[in-house]
Structure 1
């Protein structure tokens, strides 16, 4: 099969289109013929080697997590899906490879594609949808009337999270540039802050939850200060915490490194009587099925900026690397 591979960890590394062995289908896996692949910032971070501390990949390796396609083969113990089913998924941490013609995915990580979405639209959903669900529903347990601050509202996660938070009944504040104000307002944002000209800390107070996605340490400190006592900050960019290291079962030297990396933020959190959690999205077919219901009911809509042809996967990565994409970028494989 044709596939894009990473030959070495590097910020300057380009993906290489090559012939690659078709994936093995284990007894609990489905083989998916890839029609479209969602492009995510995490793809860039994995390529760069930013996550190799706890997500080591041995080059050369495949890249890409989000997929929409058709089941063409099932493992012996698969019961939920059959050949011909249209599905979508965000594949597991060590089963990357949606920038390819085929990918084998664990049955439990897969859900039926929303009937009202195209393959390109469906491929834009899994990672941002699951990230938002796990932050706001699973961890945050957001209730009606609570106040939520979602950073970068016009980005992939932000655009989905705003819609989900509004569905849950929250008051939603977000940051974006003035040119994207209309977009985030149309998604349901109640309070919109122009990050180029305004300081969100002067406008926000006593928030229940912050969905944090900015690597700037000063933004993290400000975000903690706008929380009310007992509020929670859920970070998508880190630093990772000892709880995260325990959940992954990392070795004690790595646990020590992570403990040191998060020492400063954990000290601030304790002082302010708030909580801090690092979220690294986990694939979950059941949660994706719940998201499918919201999409088919018209409650949540995909937001897509550009669709690139398969041969231009590098251009797609470069485009999201600029940080200017609105919503999601997708690669059309078939």
Structure 2
């Protein structure tokens, strides 16, 4: 048996329970990972509250958590890229989750070996943010010399997105609280806006891209700072028809629904000769392997906001719900070797 953090249903109370559950078994295409550290991410809050039911209808009891670092415990016969003892990290599928557990089964094609210079804590801070920015850049088709704005870009996502964007020769502007200014500039931001003192709509103009982390409430403001032909990609607003077509795997009802709820956003963007896209990040071991190479070459070391012990899972969830982290929030499942 092992311990896992689970919920029994959707709830606004953000309650979770540490339960004893069987250690899962692998098939020939999977690996069993002994989990050392997990990332505590904003997606967690959406999942517990049932706000991602439009994408994922979970089976309960549900083991929470989507990113982790750890060591390979056993390997399926077809998972030839790994061996027992490998230090690895992964983003779990958002529709099943499962990272908040002492042992995790993952398809080998979503796992990658960790950057050699990172601790397990630092490794667990990487997969979600890095895969999100890589997939966002693929959708946006970013070009060197272009201008990117990330509102609220000083948390776990921003600390990877900013240096990655700079490595692609983009001009990067971010907004946040004044206490985040030094951090944002230190990791490569070209421009910082204190949202408590300045309205970015009055400061920024003619941007090529916006990666939205704030949701529907900021949509029209973000659209305004784009130049004609500019692209707005949201991580937190609503899906649209193009998202459904690009990703596939959705039911006919979901595709119709996505098209309907995204239509006002598509129309608003089209009227200004701009485009709107939505991203729901997907696990990808090949992309994560490429990210490992970039992190090794660039010497990237993510900033940790706070780390909680396994029994403190409720405190960790409460912390991420505050939305004030500077860097990554983590939870230690068991001590690394």
Q: What band does the TM-score fall into relative to the shorter chain?
A: over 0.9
For 2:259 and 2:141, locate their aligned partners in 1 and report how far apart those are by CA, in whole Å: 26
**1:316 equivalent in alignment to 2:280:** no
Which residue number in structure 2 is paired with residue 16 of structure 1? 17
Change (3 A) 1:143 1:254: closer
CA deviation after TM superposition for structure 1 residue 15, in Å: 0.8
Q: Does structure 1 residue 225 correspond to structure 2 residue 245?
A: no
- 1:157-168 aligned within 5 A: 157-168=157-168
Structure 2 residue matching 1:3: 3-state secondary structure:
strand
| Per-residue deviation, 1:90 | 0.4
Equivalent residues in 2 for 1:1-334 (5 A)?
A: 1-136=2-137, 138-217=138-217, 219-246=218-245, 247-334=247-334
CA contact (8 A) 1:6 1:14 kept: yes
State the Cα distance separating 1:248 from its structure 2 match: 3.7
Deviates more, 1:15-24 or 1:102-111: 15-24
Give the Cα–Cα distance (whole angstroms) in 2 for the partners of residues 74 and 94 of structure 1: 23
Alignment coverage as a number of residue pairs: 332
Residues 332, 171 of structure 1: alpha-carbon distance in 2 compared, 3 angstrom cutoff: same
TM-score by length of 1: 0.96
Aligned counterparts of 2:248 and 2:140: Cα–Cα separation in 1 = 21
After TM superposition, give the deviation of residue 299 of structure 1 in Å. 4.6
Distance in structure 1 (CA, Å) of the matches to 2:51 and 2:211 = 21
Deviates further, 121-130 or 234-243? 234-243
Match of 1:224, SS state, is helix
Partners of 1:5 and 1:62 within 8 A in 2: yes
What's the TM-score once normalised by structure 2's chain length?
A: 0.95
Distance 1:316 1:270, change over 3 A: same
Contact persistence 1:99–1:313 (CA under 8 A): no
After the TM superposition, list the runs of 4 or more consecutive aligned residues in structure 1 that deviate by more than 3 angstroms: none
What's the offset of the Cα at 1:197? Answer: 1.5
**Paired residues of 1:174 and 1:191 also in contact (CA < 8 A):** yes
What is the rounded CA distance, in whole Å, between the counterparts of 1:204 and 1:8 in structure 2?
43
Residue 298 of structure 2: SS of its match in structure 1?
coil
Distance in 1, matches of 2:208 and 2:24, equals 44
Per the TM alignment, residue 156 of structure 1 is displaced from its structure 2 partner at its CA by: 1.1
Q: Which runs of 5+ in 1 are unaligned?
A: none
SS in 2 for 1:19: strand
Q: Secondary structure at the match of 2:109?
A: helix
* 1:225-278 Cα distance to aligned partner (Å, 9 max, x none): 111121111100121111223434333333232222112111111111111110
Measured in 2, the distance between the counterparts of 1:40 and 1:13 equals 13
| CA distance in 2: counterparts of 1:308 and 1:324, whole angstroms | 16
What is the aligned-residue RMSD (CA, Å)?
A: 1.3
